[in-house]
């Protein structure tokens, strides 16, 4: 299983001299499995560059699955700039959480119309099939890949995902909090024995105490989940827009005191799971 990071930031893009190593684009990861499945997690601004790369890698036709955790801006705002969605013959199954009174397809369509953007949803000529799912749902994708979704603890709702490709497990738990010292049970379920857990680490423990209702985790929470769920490696993810490369170096050192197999997710990281050699590093 190959995992690439295209956007690792939370909340809002944060380009600049002091974030250049980790990167400033918002959430987007892609996965390529042994059974040739293209799986994209979230469509933050990082998806723009992923789209260009996929067009080169699959010049004839792209068929993929796009998993949305939720529709806060930092997870959907790159979608209107994902070139493969505009190309007829490409096909994407778009998956997100079922909601009462608000369709996922409507939310995505509403951000590409005037007065936000000029072209409208019909300009997306790829075959786009939207599936809304519930907490605990498991999907089979391809011959050897399954996707399990569970609800996380985030304002307005959010799904975490566990992707299993043969014996390799990837867990994606971003935009979630853990209340007090109690680790969220669904996060533990998704992360159990994963080869790589990508976890929300927006805050320091002190910042988390200041913003308890924002629905994010500290890097301490992430490291504690990694221990409790027996994961092999942990990527700190969804970095605060104000966190500089230097701040994240400190976060990494602190998290490694709790769980040594931790790294900071950075744009352009390209990882093969299971990780056999040294952990990736960009700082």
- Give helix 219-228 / helix 245-258 axis angle, nearest 10°: 30
Strand order across the 63-67 sheet:
127-133, 91-97, 63-67, 38-41, 28-32, 2-7, 270-272
Residue 30 is a binding residue for Zn ion (CB under 5 A):
no
**Residue found by looking up tokens 């979230």 in the block:** 42
Distance from C-alpha of 84 to C-alpha of 185, rounded to nearest angstrom: 36
What are 159's two structure tokens? 């799904």
* From 1, 3, 8, 10, residue interacting with Zn ion (rule: CB under 5 A): 10
Closest approach of Zn ion to the CB of residue 208, in Å: 15
Closest approach of Zn ion to the CB of residue 159, in Å: 11
Residue 72 is a binding residue for Zn ion (CB under 5 A):
yes
Is residue 188 within 8 Å of residue 171, measured between CB atoms? Answer: no
Single out the segment in contact with Zn ion by CB under 5 A; choices: 8-16, 78-86, 89-97, 251-259.
8-16
Residue 245 is a binding residue for Zn ion (CB under 5 A):
no
Q: Residue 38 or 43: which CB sits closer to Zn ion?
A: 43
* From 30, 42, 74, 153, residue interacting with Zn ion (rule: CB under 5 A): 74
Window 160 to 189, contacts with Zn ion (CB under 5 A):
175
SS3 236: strand
What are 220's two structure tokens? 């301490």
Single out the segment in contact with Zn ion by CB under 5 A; choices: 72-80, 111-119, 249-257, 268-276.
72-80
Closest approach of Zn ion to the CB of residue 167, in Å: 30
Which residues of the chain form contacts with Zn ion (CB under 5 A)? 10, 72, 74, 175
């Amino acid at each position: 299983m190959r995992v690439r990071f295209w956007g690792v930031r939370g909340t809002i893009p944060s380009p600049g001299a002091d974030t250049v190593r980790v990167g400033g684009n918002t959430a987007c990861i892609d996965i390529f499995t042994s059974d040739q499945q293209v799986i994209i997690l979230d469509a933050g601004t990082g998806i723009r560059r992923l789209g260009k790369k996929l067009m080169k890698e699959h010049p004839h036709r792209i068929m993929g699955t796009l998993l949305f955790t939720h529709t806060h801006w930092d997870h959907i705002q790159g979608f209107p700039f994902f070139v493969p969605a505009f190309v007829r013959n490409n096909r994407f199954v778009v998956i997100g959480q079922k909601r009462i009174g608000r369709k996922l397809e409507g939310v995505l369509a509403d951000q590409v119309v005037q007065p936000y953007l000029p072209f409208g949803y019909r300009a997306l000529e790829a075959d786009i099939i939207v599936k809304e799912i519930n907490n605990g749902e498991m999907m089979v994708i391809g011959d050897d890949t399954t996707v399990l979704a569970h609800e996380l603890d985030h304002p307005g709702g959010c799904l975490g995902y566990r992707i299993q490709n043969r014996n390799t497990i990837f867990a994606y738990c971003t935009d979630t909090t853990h209340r007090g010292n109690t680790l969220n049970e669904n996060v533990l379920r998704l992360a159990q024995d994963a080869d790589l857990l990508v976890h929300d680490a927006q805050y320091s423990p002190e910042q988390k105490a200041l913003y308890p209702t924002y629905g994010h985790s500290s890097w301490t929470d992430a490291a504690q989940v990694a221990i409790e769920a027996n994961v092999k490696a942990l990527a700190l993810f969804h970095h605060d827009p104000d966190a500089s490369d230097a701040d994240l170096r400190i976060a990494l050192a602190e998290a490694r005191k709790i769980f040594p197999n931790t790294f900071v997710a950075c744009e352009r990281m390209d990882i093969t799971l299971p990780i056999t050699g040294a952990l990736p590093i960009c700082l």
